[in-house]
Amino acid sequence: MAQNLTHKILAAHLVDGSSLGTPGSEIALRIDQTLTQDATGTMAYLQFEALGLDRVQTELSVSYVDHNTLQMGFRNPDDHQFLRTVAKRYGIVYSPPGTGICHQLHLENFAKPGKTLIGSDSHTPTAGGLGMIAMGAGGLSVALAMAGESYRIAMPKVVQVQLTGRLQGWATAKDIILHLLGMLTVKGGVGRIFEYTGPGVETLTVPERATITNMGAELGATTSLFPADRQAEAFLMSMGRAEDYVEWVADEGATYDETIEIDLSTLEPLAAQPHMPDRVVPVRELAGLKVSQSAIGSCTNSSYADLKSVALMLAGKQLSETTDLLVSPGSKQVMKMLARENLMEPLLDAGARILEASCGPCIGMGGSPISKGVSVRTFNRNFEGRSGTQDAQVYLTSPLVAAQVALDGQFSDPAGWGAPPQFPELPGAAPSIRHLFVFPPEDGSDVEVIRGPNIVPLENFQNLPGTIETRIQLKTGDDITTDHILPAGAQITALRSNIPAISEYIFSRVDADFVNRIKNADDGPCRGVILGGDNYGQGSSREHAALGPRHLGVCAVITKSLARIHRANLVNFGILPLILKNPADYDRLEQGSQLTIPAASIQPGGSVTIDAHGVGPVEVINDLTATELAIIQAGGLLNYVRAKREH
The DSSP secondary structure of 67-116, one letter per residue, reads: SS---SSSHHHHHHHHHHHHHHHHT-EEE-TTSB-HHHHHHHHT--TT-E
Beta bridge partners of 95: 64
Residues that bind ligand MIC (CB under 6 A): 39-40, 67, 121-123, 136, 363, 381, 488, 539-542
Query: What 3 state SS string does 278-344 have?
Result: CCEEEHHHHCCCECCEEEECCCCCCCHHHHHHHHHHHCCCCCCCCCEEEECCCEHHHHHHHHHCCCH
Question: 419 burial class (0-12, 13-18, 19+ CB within 10 angstroms)?
Answer: exposed
List the single partner that 254 binds among ligand MIC, ligand SF4, none, CB under 5 to 8 Å by kind. none
For ligand SF4, give the closer residue by CB, 332 or 475.
332
Question: Is 121 annotated as catalytic?
Answer: yes
What's the CA gap between 486 and 475, in Å, rounded? 16
Which of 135, 359, 531, 638: binder of ligand SF4 (CB under 6 A)? 359
Backbone angles phi, psi at 390, to 5 degrees: -60, -40
Question: Is 540 annotated as catalytic?
Answer: yes
For ligand MIC, give the closer residue by CB, 47 or 540.
540
The amino acid at 464? L
What's the CA gap between 487 and 511, in Å, rounded? 12
List the single partner that 344 binds among ligand SF4, ligand MIC, none, CB under 5 to 8 Å by kind. none
Backbone angles phi, psi at 278, to 5 degrees: -100, 5
Active site residue: 7, 67, 377, 567, which one? Answer: 67
The piece of 2-10, 374-382, 425-433, 621-629 that touches ligand SF4 (CB under 6 A) is 374-382
| Minimal distance, residue 358 CB to ligand MIC, in Å | 11
Under the phi-then-psi rule, with left for phi > 0, alpha for psi from -120 to 50, and beta for the rest, what region is 133? beta
For ligand MIC, give the closer residue by CB, 270 or 359.
359
Binding of residue 362 to ligand SF4 (CB under 6 A) = yes
| Distance set, CA 23 to CA 15, 227, 258, 590 (Å) | 17, 22, 12, 34
| Minimal distance, residue 95 CB to ligand MIC, in Å | 15
Backbone angles phi, psi at 236, to 5 degrees: -65, -35
Length of the chain counted residue by residue = 647
**What residues numbered 47-86 form the site for ligand SF4, per CB under 6 A?**
67
Question: Is 544 annotated as catalytic?
Answer: no
For ligand SF4, give the closer residue by CB, 545 or 620.
545
Active site residue: 32, 79, 121, 175, which one? Answer: 121
Which of 101, 144, 310, 313: binder of ligand SF4 (CB under 6 A)? 101
Q: What contacts 338, CB < 8 A, 6 or more positions away?
A: 304, 307, 308, 311, 329, 344, 347
For ligand MIC, give the closer residue by CB, 556 or 562.
562
Active site residue: 209, 381, 496, 517, which one? Answer: 381
Binding of residue 484 to ligand SF4 (CB under 6 A) = no
What's the CA gap between 251 and 259, in Å, rounded? 16
For ligand MIC, give the closer residue by CB, 396 or 618.
396
Size of the site for ligand SF4 (CB under 6 A): 12
The H or E element spanning position 616 is: strand 616-621
Q: What contacts 313, CB < 8 A, 6 or more positions away?
A: 400, 403, 404, 407, 421
For ligand SF4, give the closer residue by CB, 38 or 195.
38
List the single partner that 215 binds among ligand SF4, ligand MIC, none, CB under 5 to 8 Å by kind. none
Across 492-549, the runs of DSSP E, i.e. the strands, are 528-531
Question: Is 66 annotated as catalytic?
Answer: yes
| Minimal distance, residue 8 CB to ligand MIC, in Å | 27
Which of 363, 374, 490, 554: binder of ligand SF4 (CB under 6 A)? 363
List the single partner that 542 binds among ligand SF4, ligand MIC, none, CB under 5 to 8 Å by kind. ligand MIC
Site string for ligand SF4, 102-121 (x = CB under 6 A): -------------------x
What's the CA gap between 553 and 521, in Å, rounded? 9
The piece of 241-249, 252-260, 355-363, 596-604 that touches ligand SF4 (CB under 6 A) is 355-363
Which of 193, 299, 499, 557: binder of ligand SF4 (CB under 6 A)? 299
For ligand SF4, give the closer residue by CB, 149 or 543.
543
Binding of residue 218 to ligand SF4 (CB under 6 A) = no
What's the CA gap between 276 and 282, in Å, rounded? 15
CB 14 within 8 A of CB 27: yes
Where in the sequence numbering do the catalytic residues fall?
66-67, 121, 381, 540, 542
Instruction: Give the footprint of ligand SF4 on this chain (CB under 6 A).
Output: 67, 101, 121, 123, 298-299, 359, 362-363, 379-381
